[in-house]
Amino acid sequence: MAIRKRIGLIVPSTNTTVEPDFRMAAPRDVTIHSHRMWMDEATTTNIVDKMNSDVEQAAKYLSTASVDLIVYACTAGSFYKGRGYDREMLALIETTGGVPAVATAPAAADALDHLGVKAISVTSPYGDWRDERLKVYYTEAGFNVLNVDGEPVASAAGNSGICDQPPESVVEFSANACRPEAEALFCSCTAWRSMEVAAELEQRLSRPVVTSNQATVWAAFKRLEIEPNPGFGSLVDSLAKAPV
Amino acid sequence: MAIRKRIGLILPSCNTAAEPDYRMVAPDGVTIHTHRMFIGNEGPMSEIMDRMNEDMEQAARYLSTANVDLMVYACTTGSFYRGWGFDQEMIKTIEDIGGVPVVATATAAAEALKVQGAEKVSVTTPYPDWSNERLAEYYRAAGFEVLNVDGEPNVVAAGGYAISDRDPEEILEFSTEKCQPEADAHFCSCTAWRSLEVAAELERRLSRPVVTSNQATIWASFKRLDIDPRPGFGSLLDSLVKAPV
């Protein structure tokens, strides 16, 4: 029995969706190990600054677990200061952890590029300044961001409450918010349970759907040449070697 | 779809066995969330453990923001090295900060051995002598006759960070050899050691109950939250399975 491939996750402390999403997509011989950055129910830029002050410690702790890759799994935390800041964060994690790093906001941009789309609709559970910053980041990354719609119930539920919203609500809201001219839909936020319904949304919308966790899983698995469990949308299925 | 049951794990930073072990046994609808305590790889074990436990309160605070239903202190040495009683103080501290019930490994393993009706136990570990001696003291204070505590020499030589790299087959072979004939039960200690995966096979070979650190910790967690585990990880956990195995 060989040593298993190990993925280290850096997650906001309130987030209970990233860990199960990675586990659902990971085959048995890949193990997932996490550490948290402080987050509470505040939704200011200050709390994101405070959260990101924990990044270096998280990378240091995860490096003692001999992980093969470290993942920064927060979308807003990697887009809120624009293109460029995400690269600095990846460099800090790679230097501290001594392994390759992946972060959600650039992974989602890479995923949308990989799908060859330009015009995108975006749904999120934010409903605040984060929707604006998201638009700035993905516009800078070269996309035509048609709309960014925050789901009001999740937005009112707070940062830990986002994880309590059933995936069915994510489908209904996102299916209605996707514009006819969009080439792809992006469901943002690693705390939102959108990956479980990505395949269903693709069927309903007849176009590719990218979600934060799905894009992060895709970037991580591509880097480590891991074959995912199928069923989480065309992006992740594209890495499956066996026919889906 | 209902809100899932959430378990918060407080783990030594180098441990890569506890999270997959929980994952293997947990049914759909139960999710596992971790915060780590920094563990060094050099110097006296007592100092390494003291430093690690300095992170315990922070871990409880961070996990409390995730609305977990239970917190688990998942390190055996960290909960036995200061003796019987210290583990209860530790559990109390985490409960006060986290506001939810708490389970700790050393305590859970003692309860598990009692439930299995064991008085005389053989123990295998990946530990150096210092930890093996502390282990024997703790379980004697808990009321057991500890027949032997044997550290597997290859892993002891490889060091703490390498414990999770060891093959489960190695644990199976070593533990089969070291369990004393008069033992009522065998205990494989250490949450970083991949013994849960071979617990059922070890029970077949030894014809007596086998308790492992992660198995006992999962058992105590699932019992508390009324969770039905996946079968196949030894008689202790299978006793919680509601459907016939």
Which pLDDT tens digit goes with each residue over B29-50? 999 999 999 999 999 999 999 9
Domain of A38 in residue numbering reads as: 5-104+214-237
Tell me what the mean pLDDT of segment B62-78 comes to. 98
- Are A65 and B14 inside 8 Å of each other by CB? yes
Of B219, B168, B190, B202, the closest CA to residue B22 belongs to B219
A114 and A33 in a single domain? The answer is no
Q: State whether A25 and A72 are in the same domain.
A: yes
Q: What is the pLDDT of residue B242?
A: 85
User: What integer pLDDT is reported at residue B2 of this predicted model?
Assistant: 66
Distance from C-alpha of A108 to C-alpha of A77, rounded to nearest angstrom: 13
Does the distance separating the beta carbons of B165 and A66 come in below 8 Å?
yes
| Domain pair B5-107+215-238 / B110-212, same fold | yes
Residue A44 confidence (pLDDT)? 87
Provide the terminal-to-terminal Cα distance of chain B, rounded to the nearest Å: 27
Residues of B in contact with A66 (CB under 8 A): 14, 16, 161, 165
The number of folded domains in chain A is: 2
- Of A4, A40, A65, which is closest to B13 when you measure between CB atoms? A65
Q: How far apart are the first and last CA of chain A?
A: 27
Long-range contacts of B51-56 (CB under 8 A, 24+ apart): B52/B12, B52/B78, B53/B78, B53/B90, B56/B10, B56/B90, B56/B93, B56/B94
- pLDDT of A43 reads 83
- Its ipTM equals 0.96
Residues A171 and A225 in one domain: no
pLDDT value of position B69 = 98
Residues A54 and A37: beta-carbon distance below 8 Å: yes
Shortest CB distance from B62 goes to which of A31, A38, A168? A38
Confidence (pLDDT) at A238? 95
On whether residue A175 sits in a domain, the answer given is yes
Instruction: Examine residue A70 and state whether it is found in any structural domain, yes or no.
Output: yes
For B23, the closest of A23, A35, A67 (CB atoms) is A23
Residues of B (38-57) whose Cβ lies below 8 Å from A: 38-39, 41
Chain B residue with minimum CA distance to A7? B16
Q: Which residues contact A191 (CB under 8 A, 6 or more apart)?
A: A12, A14, A15, A16, A17, A18, A125, A159, A162, A163
Task: Give yes or no for residue B245 having a pLDDT over 60.
Answer: no
- The side-by-side arrangement of strands in the sheet containing A119-124 is A144-150, A119-124, A184-187, A209-211
Q: What is the pLDDT of residue A242?
A: 64
Residue spans of beta strands (DSSP E) within B13-167: 30-37, 70-73, 102-104, 120-125, 145-151
Q: Point out the residue among B4, B161, B169 whose CB comes nearest to the CB of A66.
A: B161
CB of B67 less than 8 A from some CB of A: yes
Examine the domain organization and report whether A45 and A128 are in the same domain: no
Residue A235 has a pLDDT of: 97
Q: In this structure, is residue A127 part of a structural domain?
A: yes
* Contact in structure between B93 and B65 (CB atoms under 8 Å): no
- CA-CA distances (angstroms) from residue B76 to A137, B73, B193? 46, 9, 11
Same domain? For A230 and A174 the reply is no
Taking CB atoms and an 8 Å cutoff, what residues of chain B touch A15? 66
Helix, strand, or coil (residue B214): helix
Q: What are the tens digits of pLDDT across the range B73-89? A: 999 999 999 999 999 99
Selected residue of B5, B25, B62 to mutate for chain A interface (largest A Cβ count, 10 A) = B62
Q: In chain B, which ranges are E strands?
A: 5-12, 30-37, 70-73, 102-104, 120-125, 145-151, 185-188, 210-212
Query: For residues A120 and A115, what is the distance between their CA atoms, to the nearest angstrom?
Result: 11
Mark out chain A residues that contact chain B at CB-CB < 8 A.
1, 3-4, 6, 13-16, 19-20, 23, 31-36, 38-40, 60-62, 64-67, 160, 164, 166-168
Q: How confident is the model over B158-166, as a mean pLDDT?
A: 94
Look at the domain B5-107+215-238 and name its fold. Answer: Rossmann fold (3.40.50)
Question: Is A86 found in the same domain as A71?
Answer: yes
How far is Cα B67 from Cα B192, in angstroms, rounded to an integer? 26
CA atoms within 13 A on the CB side of B159: 11
Q: Is residue A119 one of the residues assigned to a domain?
A: yes
- CB contact, 8 Å: B165 with chain A? yes
pLDDT score of B1 more than 60: no
pLDDT digits (tens, 9 = 90+) for A10-47: 999 999 999 999 999 999 999 999 999 999 988 888 99
Where residue A131 sits, what CATH number does that domain have? 3.40.50.1860
User: Which DSSP letter does residue A191 get?
Assistant: T
B173 touches chain A (CB under 8 A): no
Q: Are residues A26 and A42 in the same domain?
A: yes
Q: What is the pLDDT of residues B12-28, one digit of tens each?
A: 999 999 999 999 999 99
Name B35's bridge partners: B10
CA A57/CA B12 separation, integer angstroms = 14
Torsion of CA B108, B114, B117, B119, to 10 degrees: 110
Determine the average pLDDT of the residues in B92-115: 98
Residue type, B183: A
Domain assignment present for residue A183? The answer is yes
Say which amino acid occupies B204: R
User: Distance, in angstroms, between B81 CA and closest chain A CA?
Assistant: 22
Domain extents in chain B:
5-107+215-238, 110-212
Structure confidence at residue A241 (pLDDT): 78
Instruction: Give chain B's length.
Output: 245
Please write the tens of the pLDDT for every residue from B120-149.
Answer: 999 999 999 999 999 999 999 999 999 999
User: What CATH number is given to the structural domain containing A12?
Assistant: 3.40.50.12500
Residue of A14, A34, A67 with shortest CB distance to B34: A34
Beta bridge partners of A144: A119
| pLDDT tens per residue, range B96-107 | 999 999 999 999
pLDDT in the model for residue A3: 84
Q: Phi/psi class of residue B227: alpha, beta or left (left: φ > 0; alpha: ψ in -120 to 50)?
A: beta
Looking at residues B215-236, what average pLDDT do you find? 98
Q: What's the CATH class of domain B110-212? A: alpha beta
Cβ proximity of B130 and B99 under 8 Å: no
Looking at per-residue pLDDT, the higher value among B3 and A198 belongs to A198
Quick one: closest CA in A to B167, which residue?
Answer: A1
Query: Do A180 and A96 share a domain, yes or no?
Result: no
Task: Output the six-digit token pair for A92.
Answer: 């800090």
Q: Is B8 helix (H, G, I), strand (E, B) or coil?
A: strand
> What are the chain B neighbours of A32 within 8 Å (beta carbons)?
19-20, 23
Section B222-230 average pLDDT: 97
Q: Which amino acid is at A179?
A: R
Residues (pLDDT < 70) of chain A are 1, 242-244
At A15 the three-state DSSP class reads coil
